[in-house]
Amino acid sequence: MKTTVPKAAILLSPPHMSGAEQHYIAEAFASNWIAPLGPHVDAFERELAEAVGAGHAAAVSSGTAAIHLALRLLGVGPGDRVFCSSLTFVASANPILYQGAEPVFIDAEPETWGMSPQALERALDEAAKEGRLPKAVIVVHLFGQCARMDEISALCGAYGVPIVEDAAEALGSSYKGRHAGTIGRFGIYSFNGNKIITTSGGGMLVSDDGDAIREARVLASQARDPAVHYEHSRPGYNYRLSNVLAGIGRAQLKVLADRVEARRAIFERYRTALEARPGIRFMPELPGTRSNRWLTALTVDEHLAGVTASQLVAWLAEDRIESRPVWKPLHLQPLFAGARFYSHGIREDVSARLFRTGICLPSGSAMTPEEQERVIERLKAGMKSGKAAAGT
Contact status: 88 vs ligand PLP (CB under 6 A): yes
User: 13, 173, 174, 190: which one contacts ligand PLP (CB under 6 A)?
Assistant: 190
User: 52, 115, 119, 140: which one contacts ligand PLP (CB under 6 A)?
Assistant: 140
Q: Please, what is the minimum distance in Å from the beta carbon of residue 190 to ligand PLP?
A: 3
Nearer to ligand PLP, 173 or 190 (CB): 190
Closest-CA residue to 201 (of 255, 237, 165, 248): 248
Name the residue whose CB lies closest to ligand PLP. 63
Distance CA(386)–CA(259), nearest Å, equals 35
Nearer to ligand PLP, 315 or 336 (CB): 336
The answer to whether 86 and 108 have CB atoms below 8 angstroms apart is yes
Contact status: 172 vs ligand PLP (CB under 6 A): no
Contact status: 145 vs ligand PLP (CB under 6 A): no
Nearer to ligand PLP, 33 or 327 (CB): 327
Site for ligand PLP in 45-64 (CB under 6 A): 62-64
Distance CA(315)–CA(324), nearest Å, equals 11
Contacts of 57 (CB under 8 A, 6+ apart): 45, 46, 48, 49, 204, 205, 206, 213
Q: Please, what is the minimum distance in Å from the beta carbon of residue 179 to ligand PLP?
A: 16
Distance CA(290)–CA(283), nearest Å, equals 13
Contacts of 146 (CB under 8 A, 6+ apart): 112, 114, 170, 173, 174, 175, 180, 286, 289, 291
Contact status: 372 vs ligand PLP (CB under 6 A): no
Please work out, in degrees rounded to the nearest 5, the angle formed at the alpha carbon of residue 242 by the alpha carbons of 238 and 245: 135
Contact code string over 198-237 relative to ligand PLP, x by CB under 6 A: -----x----------------------------------
Distance CA(240)–CA(217), nearest Å, equals 7
Closest-CA residue to 323 (of 372, 259, 268): 372
User: 15, 48, 57, 92: which one contacts ligand PLP (CB under 6 A)?
Assistant: 92
Nearer to ligand PLP, 64 or 99 (CB): 64
Contact status: 292 vs ligand PLP (CB under 6 A): no
